[in-house]
Amino acid sequence: MSVEKTDTLVVGGGQAGVAMSEHLSKCAVPHLVLERGRIAERWRSQRWDSLVANGPAWHDRFPGMEFPVTGPDGFPPKEEVADYFAAYARQISAPIRCGVEVMRAQRNVGRPGFRVETSDGVIEANSIVAATGPFQVPVIPALVPGDAGIPQLHSSAYRNPGQLPKGALLVVGAGSSGVQIADELQRSGRRVYLSVGPHDRPPRAYRGRDFCWWLGVLGKWDLETPGPGTEHVTIAVSGARGGETIDFRRLAAQGLTLVGMTKTYQDGILTFAPDLARNIARGDANLMSLLDEADAYVARNGLDLPEEPTARRIDPDPDCLINPIGELDLAEAGIVAIIWATGFAVDYSWLKVDAFDEKGRPRHQRGVSTEPGLYFLGLPWQSRRGSSFIWGVWHDAKHVADRISTQRKYLAYHAAARRETVDA
């Protein structure tokens, strides 16, 4: 059986894989990108119908192309985002092979490189870049048994209100996905309960500038490590309907019922932690802190940006916050389905190398693995806070490509020195 060879094999054809291909080409590194679905497949098939990007088009893009339909201050819908990456791949002539799944990769014995088994045959590569991103395996907590008689689905399987049975719904998780899905369901006429945990809720925009701009000028995108206790805190932000600041009190006033973190389930009854008020207060504090920093930046730099006192307005607490629900009988409440907006786990089971810690997380430095020849791209906080965002992954790919190119130069020197020795 013939074995295909390439210098660098990139696994994953989403935003990370496309960015990686661009920078490898600029470094003249021969490579191949494998994608088991279509380019940017997760944007097409693992997102709900009405999803738009959470960042404005001027910010969440690669430097080499603007979004062709959505204007710079708009929020492109998911299909346009997917089409953007497909068009970008064509623009840079990325060698992406779609419909090919990588099943196993292991180091060669006694010689450099890796042997990679795919659904289309065996490939040998000197280097591998795992560019599969952070959203690989949907996480549903083992809380409500599968035989409890109530449908459960992850946010990645949610498409629109019409796919769910008629009745009340519980959404667990108040990050960007959970809030947007709960809001959409409530607007469709459903009774919705939203389980709210610790979160940050930045302003969508303030004093005429989007929060992405504020995080940039305040240096927050470039933070290299999360603060203590903030590693897994979700961010509640939305680009829906032209972009808006998430306000849980407003959502409650519109009819959505807030509850604390979901804790236990027994005999049809869910219990919630008594932390709702604390979680809402933490989100408020995060909002006010960013507004304070923005105001200080404006004053320090003498910027002509209009004041916006209404951004600090806090509406009265709704009844569900004053008198929080401690437990909920699902049948009595008429809840017909649970949507778990509880994030994802990574899956590197195809990589048969010693490159992971006891929790299965990659051991790396800015994407350079402890396993020689192996690299990662698209990880949260890979080099900075913005690493898992579209623009951030592009910059991380540049660093990884440079490291791969440098290693190739050392190996090229070694090969040349050997030839000189033999010729002598």
Q: What is the DSSP string of 40-67?
A: THHHHHSS-TT-B-SS-TTTSS-TT---
Collapsing DSSP states into helix, strand and coil, what is residue 363? coil
CB atoms within 10 A of CB 165: 9
339 alpha carbon, distance to own chain's centre: 18
Structure tokens that stand for 295 in this block = 């105001």
We find that the CATH architecture of domain 4-136+346-423 is 3-Layer(bba) Sandwich (3.50)
Average pLDDT over residues 276-298: 97
pLDDT at res. 230 = 63
Q: What is the DSSP string of 134-197?
A: S--EE---TTS-TTSSS-EEEGGG---GGGSPSSEEEEE--SHHHHHHHHHHHHTT--EEEE--
pLDDT at res. 396 = 97
The model's confidence at residue 226, banded by pLDDT at 50, 70 and 90, is: confident
Pairing of the two strands 209-210 and 205-206: antiparallel
Structure tokens that stand for 214 in this block = 């504020």
Residue 338 to residue 168: CA distance in whole angstroms: 9
pLDDT at res. 227 = 73
% of the chain beyond a pLDDT of 70: 98
We find that the CATH architecture of domain 139-340 is 3-Layer(bba) Sandwich (3.50)
Spell out the domain ranges in the chain: 4-136+346-423, 139-340
pLDDT at res. 133 = 85
DSSP code of residue 356: B
Residue 90: exposure state from Cβ atoms within 10 A (0-12, 13-18, ≥19): exposed
Return the CA Rg of the chain.
24
DSSP code of residue 387: G
Residue 253 to residue 233: CA distance in whole angstroms: 25
Strand order in the sheet with 269-272: 262-266, 269-272, 327-329
Q: Which amino acid is located at 394 in the chain?
A: W
The model's confidence at residue 424, banded by pLDDT at 50, 70 and 90, is: low
% of the chain beyond a pLDDT of 90: 90
Alpha helices in 260-371 (DSSP H): 276-301, 319-322
Can you give the pTM of this predicted structure?
0.94
Residue 32 to residue 97: CA distance in whole angstroms: 8
Number of H helices, E strands in the chain: 9, 23
4-136+346-423 and 139-340 share one fold: yes
Collapsing DSSP states into helix, strand and coil, what is residue 404? helix
Q: Which residue has the higher pLDDT, 413 or 273?
A: 273
List phi, psi (to 5°) of 119.
-70, -10
Residue 1 to residue 20: CA distance in whole angstroms: 29
Residue 209 to residue 401: CA distance in whole angstroms: 33
CB atoms within 10 A of CB 196: 29
- Report the sign of the C-alpha dihedral through residues 373, 377, 379, 380, in that order: positive
Give yes or no for residue 153 having a pLDDT over 80: yes
Q: What is the pLDDT of residues 325-373, one digit of tens each?
A: 999 999 999 999 999 999 999 899 999 999 999 988 999 999 999 999 9
Q: Taking all residues of the chain, what is their mean pLDDT, rounded to a whole number?
A: 95
- The residue among 407, 372, 367 whose CA lies nearest residue 388 is 367
Residue 100 to residue 121: CA distance in whole angstroms: 9
Instruction: Please report, in angstroms and rounded to a whole number, the separation of the first and last CA atoms in the chain.
Output: 37
pLDDT at res. 330 = 97
